[in-house]
Amino acid sequence: MTPQEHQTGRPTDGRLDPAARDLTEPAVVAIQERLEMEVAAARAEVAAMRGSTTWRVGRLIVRPAARLRSIVTHRRLPSAPPKVSPVAPGYDLDAGPGIASSHEGALNHALVDVDEVALPRTPPPSRRRLSWQITGRGIEVGPGARAFDLPFGGATVQFVDRWRPDQHRVLLPELGADAPFIEPDIVANLDSDGLAPVPDQSQDFVIGSHVLEHVANPLRILDEIHRVLRSGGVVVLLLPDRRRTFDAGRETTPLDHLVREFHADVREVDDDHLREFLLATSPHEIPTDNADWPMVLERHRLRSVHVHCWTEHDFPAVIAYTITHLGHQWELVDALSVADAGPHSIEFGYVLRKSTVDLPGEVRAQRLTTIFDEIGIGPGAAAS
């Protein structure tokens, strides 16, 4: 295969690598067919609403494109595509783009958010270092318009995302008509579907860059990642440090909060999370009329927000919990601190291996925590 083929997992003639087809058929085809049916039904419903008082009032708050997606969302088919970001204010599906939004243009799990925009286009050496460990066949979850760079070859990646490029461009016109959104090999809603189309123990690596903060149930997604990795496989996780983003005024999401969501099998971002995010980060979005709250909350549920947030010293406890309570076999291969990429860096991360060595969970978790402290990114390092 050419270097391009190693990077994308597709032969250069545009065909999907036959070895990858087990991840895309028939589950992905079925999801796409349901999406097309739902969009057609929603368009018909919108057409029927035009001219009504409800429609005229609705246009003053959200544009028709956002209303259309809200209708699709509320149908809630078991495997329907997830809620996505409304387009910028001034956009109409029939009229084209208007005034771009100045607010976060985030698409949940698609990495089109302030975090990724703030990163330099040329990957810093710290990120390149993490990519050394990526070889074989694997998946990147939520590449959006910017895949994790794999400059060293030897890796074939498939992309898992919620929308195809043309859908992304309609939903996020503020990024431009030529925004380089990546064609996903697998279409999946992490909140409702997890990584259901991906077989157990089938991947040499998984990449999740700025994804976990957007999902409703982070422990469930970590559990899904562990499930699909082969023994000896690795995951690259990158997250924003709340102190370096618009989350600076928020409290760290407590571990017991994540545990409750995991045991409740939460599969949707609820109103309380949305309200907390808006009150802490976007006071200009708070409605003056309480009657407008449902519309505002739904708009941001569609846009996606940082549902949860952490610092680099907080997140090791989450990993330790997955070891002691979920049976994960993580061992640390490499780590990225906020300081590694310079004073303007916003992210931290890890390369974790699904270990082939059998250790008691408590021993494995304590070992990992001690290493995190030793290198300055554990909870003990924050206290010192």
- Give the whole-angstrom CA distance, residue 372 versus residue 379: 8
Q: Classify residue 92 by its DSSP letter.
A: B
Angle between helix 255-263 and 316-326 (nearest 10): 40
pLDDT of amino acid 100: 24
Q: What is the mean pLDDT of residues 51-69?
A: 38
Task: Fill in the amino acid letter for 297.
Answer: L
For residue 139, give both structure tokens. Answer: 């998946």
pLDDT of amino acid 29: 55
Give the rounded percent of residues in the chain with a pLDDT score beyond 90.
Answer: 51
| pTM for the predicted model, two decimal places | 0.71
For residue 84, give both structure tokens. Answer: 């996505």
Q: What is the mean pLDDT of residues 207-214?
A: 95
Q: What is the pLDDT of residues 298-308, one digit of tens each?
A: 877 777 789 99
On the question of pLDDT at 146 being above 50, the answer is yes
Q: What is the pLDDT of residues 251-282, one digit of tens each?
A: 999 999 999 999 999 999 999 999 999 999 98
Q: How confident is the model at residue 125 (pLDDT cuts 50, 70, 90)?
A: confident
- Give the whole-angstrom CA distance, residue 227 versus residue 292: 42
pLDDT of amino acid 93: 22
CB 97: neighbour CB atoms within 10 A?
17
Q: What is the pLDDT of residues 156-168, one digit of tens each?
A: 999 999 778 887 7
- Give the whole-angstrom CA distance, residue 123 versus residue 287: 39
pLDDT of amino acid 218: 98
pLDDT of amino acid 295: 86
Sheet holding 155-161, edge to edge: 186-187, 155-161, 136-141, 203-209, 229-240, 347-354, 330-336
Q: What is the pLDDT of residues 308-334, one digit of tens each?
A: 999 999 999 999 999 999 999 999 999
Q: What does the CA dihedral 347, 205, 128, 119 come to, rounded to 10 degrees? A: -40
Our CA angle for 232, 159, 103, nearest 5°, is 120
Q: What is the pLDDT of residues 39-59, one digit of tens each?
A: 555 555 545 555 444 333 333
Q: What is the mean pLDDT of residues 22-42?
A: 53
On the question of pLDDT at 228 being above 80, the answer is yes
Q: Which one has a higher pLDDT value, 123 or 54?
A: 123
Provide φ and ψ at 24, rounded to 5°. -120, -15
On the question of pLDDT at 351 being above 90, the answer is yes
pLDDT of amino acid 116: 44
- Give the whole-angstrom CA distance, residue 106 versus residue 306: 9
Q: Which one has a higher pLDDT value, 211 or 174?
A: 211
pLDDT of amino acid 302: 72
- 226, 327, 374 from 316: Cα distances, Å: 16, 16, 12
- Give the whole-angstrom CA distance, residue 119 versus residue 240: 11
Q: How confident is the model at residue 115 (pLDDT cuts 50, 70, 90)?
A: very low
Domains and CATH numbers, the chain: 20-383 (3.40.50.150)
* Tokens 């000896």 belong to residue: 232
- Give the whole-angstrom CA distance, residue 259 versus residue 282: 27
On the question of pLDDT at 18 being above 50, the answer is no
For residue 214, give both structure tokens. Answer: 């957007």
Write out the E strands in the chain.
136-141, 155-161, 186-187, 203-209, 229-240, 330-336, 347-354
Mean pLDDT check: name the lowest of 5-14, 73-82, 191-200. Answer: 73-82
On the question of pLDDT at 337 being above 60, the answer is yes
Q: Which residue from 269, 355, 294, 281 is spatially nearest to 319, judged by alpha carbons?
A: 355
pLDDT of amino acid 346: 93
